[in-house]
Amino acid sequence: MQKENAIEVKEVKKTFRLYKDKGNSLKEKILFKERNDYEVRTILKGISFDVRKGEAIGLIGHNGCGKSTTLKLLTKIIYPDSGTIEISGRVSSLLELGAGFHPDMSGRDNIYINASIFGLTRREIDERVDEIIEFSELGHYIDSPVRTYSSGMYMRLAFSVAINVNADVLLIDEILAVGDLNFQTKCLKKLQQIKKEGATIVIVSHSMEQIETICDRCIWLNGGKIEEDGLPGYVHRKYLEFMGDYSFAESAAPDKKELCEGEAAAESGIDVLEEARKRFERRGSGDVWIDKVYCTDAKGTEKKVFLTGEDMHINISYVVNCPAEVCIYIGILRMDYMLCYGTDSYSEEKKLFKLDHSGILKLYFPKLELLPSQYMIDIHLTDKEGNEIDMYNEAAIFQVYFQTKETGMFKMTHQWIEKQH
């Protein structure tokens, strides 16, 4: 193992058996042999990477790509089928928070039990117990049985123990959303402090912002292999572009096959529009039907991932069943349903669109000012009086990324000024 490295992973492979209907007893295994059929699934296909001492890296990738499996291999909860893993120093893992807690014992007693699992001696725990209790913010509840704790209190105690054992290597799996906002902020500050003190950190997270805040490097796992390894901003851009094609939600409007089937149904006297509206929870008169909503860049290329400051067009493809004058409302929401921006053509420009044949309407955003997040688009068509013609919520999804540390919803034009006295 190289002296400068804290972790070395060499050609690690891991497979799992997925049983279709495994027999639990000896009798079942003998009488129902067919129940023991299984499928071998390869999760990791020979990955290799090194982590230097004092380096913080993030592991990203879509669900099932092998992130958590890699972390469990590093903690030696499971072992590789082939390849080697070497780690230098004491390891603290934040995977299954509270594993080993006894519900009938107090929080204080469980600190001693859990910390000893991480390799601390009684004397070392005595030196840290007050710091752990203070960090957990449990106060007088620390001497109550753990079974009386809320889930948030339970997780905070477990996190406080794991993060205060002065480990050389800290392994974290998707558990940074512990407690309220103030406690989460304190956890992130603690991680940054641990990093400054020279600890090596490996984080599995779907939060690009967390990884870019804490990590020096990012590894993207895809299909059991390392797709990209480099600076977080660069790797995240590649990953988001990939995910834009791989897993973002498509428009919920019927595809061509469904429309053809609908035409056949219409000949049989079935109201196709009404059936589609029920399926997709659409409301309105149906005089104009939104067929598809999608985003394009300045060149007209359809995209689902945009850079802050890039041009973006929202395209609304529609079908006219009965000529109508319509007002268009567009709402842009984060995935937590926070409305980030909304506007409509009538209140803004007193504009009604006279639609008498199918086509495409566009809303152009020059220099998109949204900051990194995933967003949904709602489209509502109404008449002048506000009566619904078609309402299509979550019609499309797009992602925004950026490479600075600005946070919030919008990029605001600003300038730093130094005033000399």
The better pLDDT of the pair 106, 26 is held by: 106
- DSSP run (H or E) holding 128: helix 122-136
Q: Is residue 275 predicted with pLDDT exceeding 70?
A: no
The CB-side HSE value for 367 (13 A sphere, CA atoms) comes to 3
Q: Is residue 284 predicted with pLDDT exceeding 70?
A: yes
Query: Which pLDDT score is estimated for 244?
Result: 63
pLDDT band at 250 (very low <50, low <70, confident <90, very high): very low
Range from 28-37, 182-191, 233-242, 365-374 carrying the lowest mean pLDDT: 28-37
- DSSP run (H or E) holding 338: none
Which of 181, 176, 139, 142 shows the shortest CA–CA distance to 159?
Answer: 176
Q: Which residues contact 320 (CB under 8 A, 6 or more apart)?
A: 287, 288, 289, 355, 356, 357, 358
pLDDT digit string, tens, across residues 216-231 = 899 999 989 999 999 8
Q: What are the structural domains of the chain?
A: 5-245 (3.40.50.300), 251-401 (2.70.50.60)
Range from 274-283, 390-399, 407-416 carrying the lowest mean pLDDT: 274-283
Q: And the tokens for 270?
A: 């079935």
pLDDT digit string, tens, across residues 133-190 = 998 888 889 999 999 988 788 888 888 888 888 888 988 887 665 666 677 778 888 8
13-30: string of b/e by CB count within 10 Å (b at 16+)?
Answer: ebeeeeeeeebeeeeeee
Q: And the tokens for 417?
A: 């000024």
pLDDT digit string, tens, across residues 330-360 = 999 988 788 999 999 888 777 889 998 899 9
Mean pLDDT of the chain: 82
Amino acid symbol at 255: D
pTM of the model: 0.64
Work out the end-to-end distance of the chain between its first and last CA atoms, rounded to an integer number of angstroms. 55
**CA–CA separation, 151 and 187 (whole Å):** 17
Query: Which pLDDT score is estimated for 75?
Result: 87
Which residue has tokens 């080697």? Answer: 84
R_g of the chain computed on alpha carbons: 27
Query: Which pLDDT score is estimated for 44?
Result: 93
**CA–CA separation, 391 and 183 (whole Å):** 40
**CA–CA separation, 315 and 363 (whole Å):** 7
- Helical H segments across 137-179, by residue range: 151-163
**CA–CA separation, 98 and 149 (whole Å):** 12
Mean local confidence (pLDDT), 245-273: 43
Mean local confidence (pLDDT), 391-398: 89
